[in-house]
Amino acid sequence: MPDFTNLRRLPGLPLLLALLALAGAVYYYFAGESAVLPVQLVPHLAPVPLTLDSVAVGPVRLPLPVSGFITTLTHDVGGPYTQPLAAMLWLSTLALALAGWLAVVSMLRRPAFLAGMVPVIFLLLALNADALGVFSGSKQYFL
């Protein structure tokens, strides 16, 4: 049986949570459509092998194949759409976590420091600064 002693101490907590949920629902009712990815109909052509008839060639009857296509519609979420606010929040979270990690690892002894720096080096190598446009593509650079 769950313990509801916290709810007895804070009688307005369920009301506050209900008001927050209602405010979120009203906000997403008016602004949510522009913040979600649109669903689009996408046509697909699928080849369908058919045998139309058979043709007599000498003593043998050969099948006459015909290429046919069937059109199907599927629903697809278009994208990817860039969201600069989400990217900025993610990069700031990553930067704070990286700064905290480096602050802790830098105080360790040499073997632990090296073991703690290996994930940082691989993270920096995986960021692919070429695709981000940080450096010129025609020049060579070192991290």
Question: Please, which pLDDT band fits residue 141 given cuts at 50, 70 and 90?
Answer: low
Residue 108 confidence (pLDDT): 92
Residue in 119, 125, 92 with CA at minimum distance from that of residue 104: 119
Q: 39-43 contacts: CB < 8 A, separation 24 or more?
A: 39/75, 39/76, 39/77, 39/78, 40/75, 40/76, 40/77, 40/78, 41/73, 41/74, 41/75, 41/76, 42/73, 42/74, 42/75, 42/76, 43/71, 43/72, 43/73
- At position 133, the amino acid (one-letter code) is G
d(CA 29, CA 58): 72
Question: How high does pLDDT run on average in the chain?
Answer: 82
The whole-model pTM stands at: 0.41
Q: Is the pLDDT of residue 19 over 80?
A: yes
d(CA 129, CA 1): 53
Token reading at 46: 């699928």
Token reading at 48: 């369908």
Higher-pLDDT residue of 114, 51: 114
Question: Please, which pLDDT band fits residue 15 given cuts at 50, 70 and 90?
Answer: confident
3-state helix, strand, coil in the chain (%, to 5): 50, 25, 25
Question: Tokens 């105080």 appear where?
Answer: 107
Q: Is the pLDDT of residue 136 over 60?
A: yes
75 three-state secondary structure = strand
